[in-house]
Chain A
């Protein structure tokens, strides 16, 4: 597809995490610049498109296809076919629910098993709900800082927008570089 003089390429990325950690809210914040306090659990898979802008325009545009996957539970795992072909993933945990942070490692492993060349970002979401000190210690405790496929680990808030754009932009930039 061509927009103006640039070619648009489409790339798939996934949002992975336990139910209720805020995957849909992160996508809504990034794509629609909106946030809703109303919680509606995601069932199935919803795909959102967004044309990503870059500070220094490359010769191609990137249309990011974000796959919002149903949150995993002890009884229902993520379908491998949903992860297939994704070049990146945001693995999301909820800073107010430690059990969702304990599962981050499993989610990273699931993604890399299917997409060994993929890259990831870890989002510690709902950062607006805890104090700065608690957040800092949680960020320090997350053991992925030196995982080569994990590009960034950051505290995010879909409610305030904190670090949300930067998170998506980091992955988008890397996807363009690998093109």
Chain B
């Protein structure tokens, strides 16, 4: 993996998971596990729907990205409960892999931690400006 690419993702608190054309996991970045369902340990060859339930129902969208009919598919402000009871919020973006570095992969899912932003939004919702 290109180290500059990894650095850039780290700076943005982003992680990734790559999938093959059957939507099975091929590769996971170092911190990718924290965006998965708590009960599921990410492993190569695993069906993507098990650790990422938010992808259930998006089959047609993922296929459209895979086949180049659309550039990307995004979901925003998904909340996962953490073991300490707080919530991890993240945005995800699925796009097609075009880099040779990901030879076996067809799709890449980027995860961005937006917990701080959502915490502010939560405060604003509870105490809106008058």
Contact = CB atoms under 8 A, between A and B. Distances in A.
**A and B: real partners?**
yes
Interface of A: 1, 10-12, 40-41, 43-47, 49, 65, 70, 79, 81-82, 84-87
B54 interface: yes
A46 B125 contact: no
A86 B56 CA distance: 9
B58 A44 contact: no
A85 B61 contact: yes
B122 A65 contact: no
A79 B59 contact: no
Contacts of A87: 57
B56 A43 contact: no
Nearest to A49: B53
A16 B87 CA distance: 21
Contacts of A85: 56-61
A47 B54 contact: yes
A41 B79 contact: no
A44 B59 CA distance: 22
A49 to B, nearest CB: 7
B16 interface: no
Contact of B61 (A11, A40, A46, A84): A84
Interface centre among A43, A47, A81 (most CB of B within 10 A): A43
Interface stretch (B5-13, B24-32, B70-78, B104-112): B70-78
Interface in B94-130: 118, 121-122, 125-126
A10 B53 contact: yes
Given A44-B89, A46-B79, A81 B57 contact: no
Given A10-B56, A70-B77, A81-B75, 10 more contacts: A41-B122, A43-B89, A43-B125, A44-B118, A44-B121, A45-B76, A65-B53, A85-B57, A85-B61, A86-B57
